[in-house]
């Protein structure tokens, strides 16, 4: 389908000549003045408007301004025999995409300028669409959280997102720390710039510094060319450092300086560079404990922890399991083109009872598994992974010394697992809780529930 082109010129010979030259590539409409052009603009959607500058009653600049106010504005190119820098500046201020003098206009050049402007507009629309999709995917309203803990956390996210404050996100693996970081970025004034993510734990310690700050050619063995670091790549946007507790001592010093002064040098260079970057970090470790052990700088810890957001594990916010499961169900049903709409009561009970040591990440994987195996329109217990369907199946098997030869109920299995963990931890409840993947408070509650307080 040809792009639509509106040619506006009060000289008939000029209008007809341009139509003859351009109608092979465009679906051409003609208008003799701004009024007739406005009538066409209100009835039709045009890809390009090519307008004369000097016309009776209203000039081309005013027409361009009106065209650019439309819901779907065309590419606007101004033609004039009165070429001057002043007219060009005025045209661009009114929203013109290009400017071409009539006296020097060649059809080949005009076609090239139109094609270039159309391409530029297409890229702008695609970029806007991409940002809208990101906003929808990572925006505040799309983070699922019905529990009081998550509602409070999300309210804090809303409050701090517009600032440039450094944020530390803490929580166990799989709780959604990166999702929170993306939400902060998308809700901030930096949303139109990049959010650059570095998973520090996945890099050798010797490469972390070069990854963040970049290096010059020949700075070290293997540095065959200059490399721009992630900080420079995040200029004007956000730098997200995941697993910050894994960062090496040398890089800690350089990062501390950057946070304080916003300056740094590439490895192998003496040139000081600056960057306007917001830093968000995340960790599943106890950074304060690392500070006390001498493995993490105390001054850097306080620089990173201007605002701390703690994501509680899924087992401590049971209210979030059902809405999260429904969200993932809808996602994977659509992705796999399956008419799976809900969970049976029994399946949802299994989901809520499961301790989710892998947190939201594990729940998401479990729902993907369930959708793949579901044959009807509702997920049943048999569609769930074995360790969710029958918790004892993955943790204990018949014949286990603790259980004997019978298959346990869920409560029996849980009780015996608590006993085993305490025995293996020699009665140390903190260690036992860690073995079970629960908090110490949860373990105390289970001990009381199963009358094991004196164990």
Q: What is the CATH number of domain 315-389?
A: 1.10.8.60
Structure tokens that stand for 183 in this block: 């939400």
Q: Would you give the end-to-end CA distance of the chain in angstroms?
A: 78
Q: Contacts from 145-149 at CB under 8 Å and sequence distance 24+?
A: 145/317, 145/320, 145/323, 146/319, 146/320, 146/322, 146/323, 147/312, 147/317, 147/318, 147/319, 147/320, 149/312, 149/316, 149/317
Q: Is 454 helix (H, G, I), strand (E, B) or coil?
A: coil
Rounding to the nearest 10 degrees, give the CA dihedral for residues 395, 398, 400, 401.
Answer: 140
What confidence score (pLDDT) does residue 406 get? 43
**Separation CA 260–CA 262 (nearest Å):** 6
Location of each CATH 1.10.8.60 domain in the chain: 315-389
| Token pair 């970049």 in the structure block, residue | 214
Dihedral sign of CA atoms 337, 342, 344, 346 in order: positive
pLDDT at 128: 60
Q: What are the tokens at 104?
A: 């020097």
Helix (H), strand (E) at residue 305: none
Residue 131's φ and ψ, nearest 5 degrees, are -65, -35
- Taking 70 as the pLDDT cut, the residues of the chain under it are 82-85, 126-142, 391-413, 437, 454-455
pLDDT of residue 137: 52
Cα–Cα distances in angstroms (integers) from residue 193 to residues 186, 188, 241, in the given order: 10, 10, 17
Q: Considering only CA atoms, which of 451, 425, 429, 452 is closest in space to residue 441?
A: 429
Domain with CATH 1.10.10.60 in the chain: 393-449
Which tokens hold the place of 84?
């001057």
Each residue's pLDDT tens digit, 258-287 = 999 999 999 999 999 999 999 999 999 999
Q: Which pLDDT does position 400 carry in this prediction?
A: 45
CATH 3.40.50.300 in the chain, residue ranges: 144-312
Query: Which residue has tokens 């697993």?
Result: 243
CATH 3.40.50.2300 residue window(s) in the chain: 4-130
The domain made up of 4-130 has a fold known as Rossmann fold (3.40.50)
If phi > 0 it is left, if psi is from -120 to 50 it is alpha, else beta; for residue 111 that is: alpha
The residue behind tokens 């201020």 is 93
Give the per-residue pLDDT at 131.
53
Radius of gyration of the chain from Cα atoms? 31
Q: What are phi and psi of 76, to 5 degrees?
A: -115, 125
pLDDT at 2: 85
pLDDT tens-digit map of 226-258? 888 999 999 999 999 999 999 999 999 999 999
- Can you say whether residue 143 is alpha, beta or left, with left for phi > 0 and alpha for psi between -120 and 50 degrees? beta
Identify the DSSP state of 215.
B
Residue 52 φ/ψ, nearest 5 degrees: -70, 160
* DSSP structural state of residue 104: G
pLDDT tens-digit readout, 16-58: 999 999 999 999 999 999 999 999 998 888 999 999 888 888 8
CA–CA separation, 206 vs 217, rounded Å? Answer: 17
Of 292, 214, 288, the C-alpha closest to 251 is 214
CA distance 188 to 237: 9
Which residue has 């306007």 as its token pair?
A: 276
pLDDT value of position 83: 56
Task: Write down the pLDDT at residue 311.
Answer: 94
CATH class of the 393-449 domain in this structure? mainly alpha
CA-to-CA separations, 141 to 22, 56, 88, 161, 192, in angstroms, rounded: 48, 52, 44, 14, 19
Classified as helix, coil or strand, 263 is strand
Provide the token pair at 79.
């033609």
Q: What are phi and psi of 278, to 5 degrees?
A: -90, 135
- Stretch (H or E) spanning 293: none
CATH superfamily, domain at 144-312:
P-loop containing nucleotide triphosphate hydrolases (3.40.50.300)
What digits encode the pLDDT tens for the residues 349-375? 999 999 998 999 999 999 999 999 999
Query: What's the pLDDT score for residue 455?
Result: 65
Helix (H, G, I), strand (E, B) or coil at 271: coil
């Amino acid at each position: 389908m040809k792009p639509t082109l509106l040619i506006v010129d009060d000289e008939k010979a000029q209008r007809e000549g341009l139509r003859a030259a351009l109608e092979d590539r465009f679906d051409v409409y003609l208008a003799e003045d701004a009024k007739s052009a406005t009538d066409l603009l209100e009835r039709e959607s045009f890809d390009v408007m090519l307008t004369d500058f000097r016309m009776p009653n209203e000039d081309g600049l005013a027409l361009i301004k009106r065209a650019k106010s439309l819901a779907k504005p065309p590419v606007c190119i101004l033609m004039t025999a009165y070429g001057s820098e002043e007219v060009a500046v005025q045209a661009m201020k009114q929203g013109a995409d290009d400017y071409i003098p009539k006296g020097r206009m060649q059809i080949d050049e005009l076609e090239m300028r139109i094609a270039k402007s159309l391409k530029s507009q297409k890229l702008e629309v695609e970029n806007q669409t991409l940002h809208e999709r990101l906003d929808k995917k990572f925006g505040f309203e799309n983070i699922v959280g019905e529990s009081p803990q998550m509602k409070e956390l999300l309210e804090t996210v809303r409050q701090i997102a517009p600032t440039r404050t450094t944020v530390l996100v803490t929580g166990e693996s799989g709780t959604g720390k990166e999702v929170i970081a993306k939400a902060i970025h998308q809700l901030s004034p930096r949303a139109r710039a990049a959010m650059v993510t570095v998973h520090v734990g996945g890099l050798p310690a010797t490469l972390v510094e070069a990854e963040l700050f970049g290096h010059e050619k020949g700075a070290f063995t293997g540095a065959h060319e200059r490399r721009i670091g992630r900080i420079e790549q995040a200029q004007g946007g956000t730098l997200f450092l995941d697993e910050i507790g894994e960062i090496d001592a040398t890089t800690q010093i350089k990062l501390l300086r950057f946070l304080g002064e916003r300056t740094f040098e590439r490895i192998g260079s003496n040139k000081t560079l600056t960057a306007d970057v917001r830093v968000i970090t995340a960790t599943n470790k106890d950074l304060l404990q690392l500070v006390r052990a001498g493995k993490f700088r105390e001054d850097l810890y306080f620089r990173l922890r201007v605002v701390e957001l703690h994501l509680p594990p899924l087992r401590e916010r049971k209210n979030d399991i059902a809405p999260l499961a429904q969200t993932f169900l809808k996602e994977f049903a659509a992705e796999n083109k399956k008419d799976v709409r809900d969970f049976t009561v029994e399946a949802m009970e299994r989901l809520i009872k499961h301790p989710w040591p892998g947190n939201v990440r594990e729940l998401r994987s479990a729902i993907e598994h369930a959708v793949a195996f579901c044959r009807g329109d509702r997920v049943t217990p048999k569609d769930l992974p074995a360790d969710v369907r029958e918790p004892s199946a993955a943790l204990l098997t018949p014949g286990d010394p603790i259980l004997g030869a019978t298959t346990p109920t869920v409560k029996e299995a849980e009780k015996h697992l608590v006993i085993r963990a305490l025995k293996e931890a020699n009665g140390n409840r903190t260690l036992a809780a860690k073995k079970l993947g629960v908090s110490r408070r949860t373990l105390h509650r289970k001990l009381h529930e199963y009358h094991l307080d004196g164990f």
